[in-house]
Chain A
Amino acid sequence: MRFKLNRKKREVHLGDRVFAFILKVPSVALVLLLVSIAYYLFRNALPVIHKQGWSFVTTSVWDPVNDVYGALPVVYGTVVSSFIAILISTPLSVGVALFLTEIAPTRVGRVVGFLVEMLAAIPSVVYGLWGIFVLAPWLRTTVEPFLAKTMGFLPFFQGAPYGVGMLAAGIILAIMITPTISSISREIFNAIPRVQREAALALGSTRWEMMRLSVLQSARRGIIGAVILGLGRALGETMAVTMLIGNRHEVSASLFAPGSTMASIIANEYAEATSDVHVAALVEVGLLLFAVTFVINSLARLFISRGFRWGAPSNSPGGAK
């Protein structure tokens, strides 16, 4: 039973009424804050929405000098880099979560769990720095030539190995979203009752069969939710991607080629944008990004809260962790 503000039935202490009001104001303001973020973005994007309409997202020329803006390449870059990240990170994160809940001894699990959480705590700009000086040279000299040699017949692995580019951005994103996906998968695995596992083992399944039958089967929905949440993080990640993607406004099939994402183009151009339309165009990119992450995260919330079929759903599944 929590305190209720039921003025009809009970007389409420004046101090209580004042205090409740004081607490309610910031809560209302928080909701208004979110609404006003959306409103401001929309209002400041209006010049470009009026001027270009849908061609903004369907064309690919981005020319601030002539005030022509087509956001297709950044949308493409965002989708591709996030897709690479999800592709790498999903098996890895689910593997980590399984390792932590099913295999690792408590002490090992605790340490590894902490280390994985620390991955989420490293600031994005530090990942960017590491990416520029460690990851990108490694990709340029080792990974990309190797991929070109073995799978060069695919259009994704053709062209000069720059190091920085779509692949580098995707990999850094994969590293950054792994803690998100794995910590939520882990919570979901933990919520699955012990007896479910024991039942599978009692029927003679091996440990892996037990994981497949009683853990992964029942956690499918939750895992999908976790991956969607990771996707939401990947779409909006700014600094590391800006430093690693190469910032070129082009659609290119090759993953070695530089590109740019919605977040990175804002980070790169906003402070230097001079014409009003240029600013508005960048704000519209921001508006799109806002809308997409909003939808994605709501979706993830839905999946995750239903993913807990046993045990109580946690209060705040959409963790920022």
Chain B
Amino acid sequence: MQRHFADYIFRSYRKRKAINALMCGLLVLAATLAIFPLFSVFGYVVAQGYSALNWEFFTAVPKPVGEIGGGMANALLGTCTLVALASLIGIPWGVSVALYLSEYGGKQGRGRFAGVVRFSADMLSSIPSIIVGLFVYALVVITMRRFSAVAGGLALGILMIPTVCRTTEELLRMIPEHIREAGLALGLPRWKVILWIILKGSRGPITTGIMLSIARVSGETAPLLFTAFNNRFWQSGLDQPIASLPVQIYTYAISPYDDWHRQAWAGALLLVMLVFAMNLLTRVVFNSGGNSKKQGGN
């Protein structure tokens, strides 16, 4: 490092100043460039989507190919159904794993088995979501011999586990040790301390974290392609193929019809609004909760 320094010192001061200004300028440029796509995506989605949002979009099912009009009502309901199914699987599973890791995971949650569990959760969150689709296909679709809402819900539920688990665990870790000790000192058994003090006390932030992961999972497309498949009509049962907003957007986007493109933009607008609202909400809750994790915001 000293040799590096000598290089700098023997350069002329003016040159060093110039390089400094240039590099700082480039860094600002990098930041601008990086967020530019966000504005572009957001702008187009709002501009194109807003004009296509109307009453029919929310209430009608798709018209037959070639006819103008129709909406995505079935896909909206389908996404709600799928997300509800996913929540049934992902939330209890994720929260209980998080509880296990933070409360029984050994010192600082660094026990050996806790390490294995955390590694699995990390890997599960980083493998491509389409792989989860393949797995659920093998597990459910082949057994039931058809695409179904249950299969789609399961795929999304599996994808929810690691996100729910991570956010919950991080929140539980922020609870100071003396709160647990206070509960124990009152003679409460641990399970009561965990359920009635730890979990109940951090209910709000955990709920927000969960909502964020719901928002994230409701935009997932890849794992639904061959589990929930698609359906141009109202859903007829949980063991039947079901439409969903992201899959419908995908189908419409790659179709050759202008009217479908328009509806795809409208669907995208809904998805983006959902995700943005959830993220903003999380931000507000976490910042006002007084437990901001790092200085300078996160």
Contacts and interface: CB of A to CB of B under 8 A. Distances in A.
A278 to B, nearest CB: 13
Interface stretch (B58-66, B69-77, B155-163, B203-211): B155-163
Contacts of A122: 38, 41, 219, 272, 275
Contact of B120 (A34, A118, A125, A270): A34
A294 B127 contact: yes
A113 B297 contact: yes
Residue in A40, A102, A126, A283 with the greatest tally of chain B CB atoms within 10 Å: A126
Contacts of B261: 133
A266 B226 CA distance: 10
Interface string B1-43: 1001100110000001101100110111111011101101100
B269 to A, nearest CB: 9
Interface of B: 1, 4-5, 8-9, 16-17, 19-20, 23-24, 26-31, 33-35, 37-38, 40-41, 44-45, 48, 92-93, 96-97, 99-109, 113, 116-135, 137-139, 158, 161-163, 165-166, 169-170, 173, 177, 180, 189-192, 194, 215-216, 219-222, 225-226, 229, 246, 249-250, 253-254, 261, 264-265, 268, 271-272, 275-276, 279, 283, 294, 296-298
Given A15-B191, A205-B8, A208-B23, A125 B249 contact: yes
Contacts of A294: 123, 127
Nearest to B194: A19
A290 to B, nearest CB: 5
Contacts of A290: 127-128, 131
Interface in A273-294: 282-283, 286, 289-290, 293-294
Residue in B102, B119, B221, B246 with the greatest tally of chain A CB atoms within 10 Å: B221
Nearest to A138: B40
**Which 4 A-B residue pairs are closest in the complex by CB-CB distance?**
A236-B128, A123-B219, A95-B30, A19-B191
Interface in A102-124: 102-104, 106, 109-110, 112-119, 121-124
Contact of A318 (B97, B125, B131): B125
Given A103-B28, A290-B131, A293-B127, A316 B122 contact: yes
Given A95-B31, A117-B279, A133-B261, A125 B161 contact: no
A320 B100 CA distance: 21
A315 interface: yes
A126 B272 contact: yes
Contacts of A5: 104
A1 interface: yes
Given A100-B31, A266-B134, A209 B104 contact: no
Interface in A234-276: 235-239, 243, 263, 266-267, 270-271
Contacts of B100: 23-24, 26-27
Nearest to B213: A320
B177 A1 contact: yes
A20 interface: yes
Interface string A113-146: 1111111011111111110111000000000000
A134 B190 CA distance: 56
Given A1-B177, A270-B134, A315-B109, A208 B20 contact: yes
B287 to A, nearest CB: 9
Given A27-B100, A103-B24, A270-B134, A119 B34 contact: yes
Nearest to A95: B30
B88 to A, nearest CB: 13
A238 B222 contact: yes
Interface of A: 1-5, 13, 15-16, 18-20, 22-24, 26-27, 29-31, 33-34, 36-37, 40-41, 43-44, 91-93, 95-96, 98-100, 102-104, 106, 109-110, 112-119, 121-130, 132-134, 175, 178, 182, 190, 203-209, 211, 213, 217, 229, 232-233, 235-239, 243, 263, 266-267, 270-271, 282-283, 286, 289-290, 293-294, 297-298, 301, 315-316, 318-320
Contact of A114 (B20, B37, B268, B283): B283
A208 B8 CA distance: 11
B253 A103 contact: no
B108 A125 contact: no
Given A204-B9, A209-B20, A3 B40 contact: no
